[in-house]
């Protein structure tokens, strides 16, 4: 049986032990991404930013996507970004577990999308647990919000500034707080 590549294993949600024989590949990939991020974060032309982000993600980023730098991402190849997405200054994406951002999403400054975590048990804490994040169409993520691994943000939902989201958010609601809770329905 063919052994699955480390990055496929991550996308499949497999916990990766610190002692995994391929764990070094995460570090190497991160440094390759960092090289492109230095260029991206020093670019002054929006088309150049889009081109460099396409290289980082390994997929074509539509010219309707606007990213204000600085922007930080640890891998990139597990991030998918739709059309008409706006990502403001100082955002952090940890995407080894996968990040999908649908069309028309707004992401405010200092937002963190963290698709990776660690076990609670101290003896295994240095292992990596990847779980995907999905931000659905037309959602708005407020300034300094943190979206944790395994969370889906519903269509048209709003995450209030400073919220920490650890559970899925339904469509058409506003959530806020730590941990984030539903504050109100958008259409009521």
Question: Quick check: 152 and 180 in contact, CB under 8 A?
Answer: no
Q: Where are the alpha helices (DSSP H) in the chain?
A: 6-11, 24-42, 46-57
Dihedral over Cα of 152, 156, 162, 167: its sign: negative
**Beta strands per DSSP E along 70-150:** 71-73, 79-81, 86-87, 91-94, 99-101, 106-107, 112-114, 116-117, 129-130, 133-135, 140-141, 146-148
Which residue among 78, 104, 118, 134 is the active-site one?
118
Mark whether 118 is an active-site residue. yes
Count of Cβ atoms closer than 10 Å to residue 58 Cβ: 12
Structure token digits, residue 56: 């980082």
Question: Quick check: 80 and 101 in contact, CB under 8 A?
Answer: yes
Residues in the chain: 188
Catalytic amino acids? 118
């Amino acid at each position: 049986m063919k052994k699955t590549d480390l990055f496929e294993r991550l996308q499949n949600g497999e916990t990766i032990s610190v002692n995994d024989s391929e764990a070094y590949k995460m570090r190497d990939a991160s440094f390759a991404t960092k090289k492109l991020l230095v260029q991206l974060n020093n670019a002054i032309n929006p088309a150049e930013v889009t081109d460099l982000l396409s290289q980082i993600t390994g997929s074509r980023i539509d010219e309707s996507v606007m990213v204000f730098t600085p922007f930080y991402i640890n891998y990139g190849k597990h991030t998918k970004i739709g059309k008409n997405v706006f990502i403001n200054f100082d955002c952090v994406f940890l995407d080894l577990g996968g990040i999908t951002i649908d069309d028309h999403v707004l992401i405010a400054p200092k937002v963190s999308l963290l698709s990776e975590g660690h076990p609670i048990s101290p003896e295994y804490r240095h292992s990596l647990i990847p779980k995907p994040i999905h931000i659905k169409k037309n959602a708005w993520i407020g300034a300094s919000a943190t979206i944790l691994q395994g969370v889906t943000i519903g269509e048209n939902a709003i995450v209030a500034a400073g919220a920490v989201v650890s559970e899925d958010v339904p469509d058409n609601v506003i959530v806020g707080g730590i941990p984030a809770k539903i504050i109100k329905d958008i259409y009521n």
